[in-house]
Amino acid sequence: MGPLEGIRIVEFAGIGPGPFAGMMLADMGAEIIRIDRKNDNRPDTLARGDPAMDIPSRGRKSVALDLKDPSSRDVALKLVEKADALIEGFRPGVMERLGLGPDDCHARNPKLVYGRMTGWGQDGPLAKSAGHDINYIALSGALWAMGEADRNPVPPLNLLGDFGGGGMMLAYGIVCGVLKARHSGRGDVVDAAVSDGTTALMAPVYSQLAKGTWTNARASNRLDGAAPYYGVYRCADDKWICIGSLEPQFWSLLLELLDLSPDDFPDRLDPDTWPQYRAAFEQYFTRRSRDEWCALLEGTDVCFAPVLDLKEAPDHAHNRARNMFVDANGVRQPAPSPRFRNSTPELPGRPPYPGQNNEDALIEWGFSTFEVLELMNSGVLGQEATAVTAE
């Protein structure tokens, strides 16, 4: 059983960081019912195909409702009455216009933790503007700081913003809110913004900037690829390795294993020496293949790893030993994380088709069989979805 066993969450279907927060909570044992759009035939929805491939949607049951219809809204509010928390990822004001905003939900369930996921937050000049991960991390300073000195900033996929600063922060905020509600009897509203969360993740960098140990220039610092002892190097086979020999003892071991003289690298902490040292290492690492460097350096205190592609990573010996990837529903996917001594998070159920659990999920959440039949006969519930394959 996961540590969140017994926590119930209503999730209003969205994209990106909201579903990722739901995955994190479901992976830890929370029971989540997702409200999908009834008869959702938008091209982006149909193109998703088999939901088993939608890894962040694992661990839900789905009901399909038209939230603009008062009867559907009543169903959603009845689910809210049974929930510990709620996830929604619409622009500010959308849920209020639907009659499902925080005040509406807290009138039904004062202990509810109402989780709101947006890019810019619920207020501020940009609150109602469209945006994506790249825009949100740009305002935090994070995007500007990544990349080579003489080239454009490099987007770090959408890991930093959507999933780190967004979804992870929302999941954290919901758990904090639920803990408070358990002893106070009062719910809360979590305003999780990707821009806020990314800024919080930049705290260590801003700390170094304040101390004068971080240069406000891209690729000029120990951790941004400028230092010769912390970076990525190409090998003879055009694959890559990475070195993280930050501490002096690790650096000394690196030179020893590479059979290089410390006298040739007398002042590794002087940024003026970094271009020269780095050029020397770049040339040196092209002498052998990645596998050859792994044989020499992997598992030592050099702080070394091969740079694996997405197909290689699941098969690395360390990843296999810790079962970091699992095969489920025909899809290889990351396993739940983190791990606990006294709890056992397990991979939750298969991602559902929209409306797949119209009947059983509602009954599990307190609706009577008669009520569910009435909702189905009256057309309030969408038809149970079947497999959709993208053309």
Cβ-based neighbour number of residue 359 at 10 Å: 18
Confidence band of 89 (pLDDT split at 50, 70, 90): very high
36: in domain: yes
What's the rounded mean pLDDT across residues 52-68? 95
Location of structure tokens 């938008």: 42
Tens digits of residue pLDDT in 97-142: 999 999 999 999 999 999 999 999 999 999 999 999 999 999 999 9
Residue 50 is predicted with a pLDDT of: 86
Say if residue 367's pLDDT is above 70: yes
Say if residue 66's pLDDT is above 60: yes
Share of the chain above pLDDT 70, in %: 95
Say if residue 387's pLDDT is above 50: no
Say if residue 388's pLDDT is above 50: no
Last residue of a domain, one of 304, 321, 338: 321
Residue 228 is predicted with a pLDDT of: 96
- Helix%, strand%, coil% for the chain, nearest 5: 40, 15, 45
Residue 128 is predicted with a pLDDT of: 94
Same domain, 247 and 352: no
Residue 175 is predicted with a pLDDT of: 98
Q: How far is CA 228 from CA 26, 133, 231, 260, in A?
A: 41, 30, 6, 14
Same domain, 194 and 53: yes
CATH of the domain at 285: 3.30.1540.10
Residues 150, 220: contact at Cβ < 8 Å?
Answer: no
Residue 313 is predicted with a pLDDT of: 98
48: in domain: yes
Residues 102, 26: contact at Cβ < 8 Å?
Answer: no
Backbone angles phi, psi at 70, to 5 degrees: -55, -35
Which residue in 8, 4, 18 sits closest to 192, CA to CA? Answer: 18
DSSP β-bridge partners for residue 306: 241
CATH of the domain at 107: 3.40.50.10540
Say if residue 178's pLDDT is above 60: yes
Residue 303 is predicted with a pLDDT of: 98
Same domain, 123 and 264: no
Same domain, 29 and 132: yes
Question: How far, in Å, CA of 286 to CA of 72, rounded?
Answer: 63
Same domain, 67 and 106: yes
What's the rounded mean pLDDT across residues 175-197? 97
347: in domain: yes
Confidence band of 383 (pLDDT split at 50, 70, 90): low
Query: Regarding predicted confidence, which is higher, 6 or 388?
Result: 6
Please indicate whether residue 238 is annotated as part of the active site.
no
221: in domain: no
Residues 148, 216: contact at Cβ < 8 Å?
Answer: no
Same domain, 139 and 17: yes
- SS3 state at 312: coil
Same domain, 277 and 341: no
Same domain, 75 and 170: yes
Residue 197 is predicted with a pLDDT of: 98
Residues 244, 310: contact at Cβ < 8 Å?
Answer: no
What Rg, from alpha-carbon coordinates, does the chain have?
25
What's the rounded mean pLDDT across residues 248-268? 96
Say if residue 269's pLDDT is above 70: yes
Please indicate whether residue 162 is annotated as part of the active site.
yes
- In 28-168, where does DSSP find H-type helix? 43-46, 70-81, 94-97, 102-108, 133-139
Confidence band of 1 (pLDDT split at 50, 70, 90): confident
Which residue in 57, 194, 202 sits closest to 133, CA to CA? Answer: 194
Q: Give the active site residue among 66, 74, 132, 301.
A: 132
Confidence band of 40 (pLDDT split at 50, 70, 90): low
- Write the CB contacts of 161 (distance below 8 Å, at least 6 apart in sequence): 133, 134, 136, 137, 142, 194, 195, 197, 198
Residue 39 is predicted with a pLDDT of: 76
Provide DSSP, 144-191: TTSS-TTS-----TTIIIIIIIIIIHHHHHHHHHHHHHHHHS--EEEE
Q: How far is CA 180 from CA 185, 298, 363, in A?
A: 8, 45, 29
Question: How far, in Å, CA of 368 to CA of 152, rounded?
Answer: 59
Cβ-based neighbour number of residue 180 at 10 Å: 15
Range of the domain at 370: 8-201+325-377
Q: Give the active site residue among 27, 133, 162, 224.
A: 162
Location of structure tokens 């460097």: 293
What's the rounded mean pLDDT across residues 195-207? 98
Question: How far, in Å, CA of 391 to CA of 123, rounded?
Answer: 40
Q: Is 0.85 topped by the overall pTM?
A: yes
Backbone angles phi, psi at 12, to 5 degrees: -90, 120
Residue 42 is predicted with a pLDDT of: 53
389: in domain: no
Same domain, 237 and 345: no
Say if residue 45's pLDDT is above 70: no
Residue 391 is predicted with a pLDDT of: 28
Question: If you average pLDDT over every residue of the chain, what do you get?
Answer: 94
Residue 49 is predicted with a pLDDT of: 74
What's the rounded mean pLDDT across residues 325-341? 95
- The domain total for the chain is 2
